Every structure is written in structure tokens, then in C-alpha cells.
Amino acid sequence: MKTHQENTDEIEIDLLEIGNVLLHKAGLILLLGVVFAVMGFIGTKVFISPQYMSTTKMVVLTKENNGNITNSDLQASSSLTRDYAEVIQSRTVIERVIENLGLDTSYDELLGHITVSIPEDTRIITISVTDQSPREAAKIADEIRDIS
């Protein structure tokens, strides 16, 4: 029959002693905090450029809005929304945007800055463009909307 021995080792922690050590090192702790904060600030200013996002939305309808929209018009519009989202990202539309705005970029580069999404169960297409310039992002998003 085995006997069960309990481990009765105790560790005593003196909180006052830990507080005194931290108090004596407070200057060093504060200095390191300031140094790391300054390094982080400089690093973000020098190495990270800001990115701005501009978003525009479109509603897809199959008829001109003359006040007489039927249920079948709405259903047809819902099925066309995905097709229009693909057309927006097509080479024809993107290259026309590049040409109209005189951008110095390629199709693949500009396409990498564009996000087209369709919220579920809607006829709305959301076009978002990310760029280093907020005005440029807005111009590109608006031009994509106008062309498509």
C-alpha cells in the first residue's frame, strides 16, 4: 500500500521587497518606456505610409426609375448584381479608368487597390479603392462607378 505524501514546500513572496526594487529601477523603466515610444513613433512615420479608402455605392435596377418598378424587375436586378460586380473588375473598365485619369499604373496594380462587394440580399454594389492619397482614391472610385 502506497502512502501519499504531500508537498509542503512553501514559497514566501515579499511584496514590499519587490516594490522597493521596482521603485529603485523606476527611472530606468520610465526611460525605456519613453525610448520605445519614440522608436515606435519614428518607425511608423518613416516606414509606414498612410492608406486612405474611398467607397462609392451603386444600386442595380433593370429599368429606368420612373416610379413603376415591379417585383420581377427587382428579382432581375438581384441576379444582375453579381454580373455587374464582375464587369466592374474587368480589364476593359479598369484600363479605361487608367486612361481617363491619366494614371501611371498597370491593370493588375490598380485592381489590387480595388474591392468590389455586394451585401447579402441587396441590389447594391460597393466599390472601395485604397490609395496613399485620399483625393486620388475618391477620383478612382468615382470614375469606376461612372464608367461601369
At 66 the pLDDT is: 58
124: helix, strand or coil: strand
Mean pLDDT of the chain: 85
At 35 the pLDDT is: 96
pLDDT in tens, 86-128: 889 999 999 999 999 998 999 999 999 999 998 887 788 999 9
The set of residues, in sequence order, having a beta carbon less than 8 Å from that of 44 and lying 6+ positions away, is: none
Q: How far is 53 from 144, CA to CA, in rounded Å?
A: 14
pLDDT in tens, 67-89: 666 666 666 666 788 888 888 99
Q: Three cell numbers at 29?
A: 523603466
At 9 the pLDDT is: 73
Residue 129 has pLDDT above 70, yes or no: yes
At 121 the pLDDT is: 76
Task: Give pTM, 2 decimals.
Answer: 0.64
Kindly state the percentage of the chain with pLDDT values over 90: 43
DSSP 6-56: ---------HHHHHHHHHHTHHHHHHHHHHHHHHHHHHHHHH----EEEEE
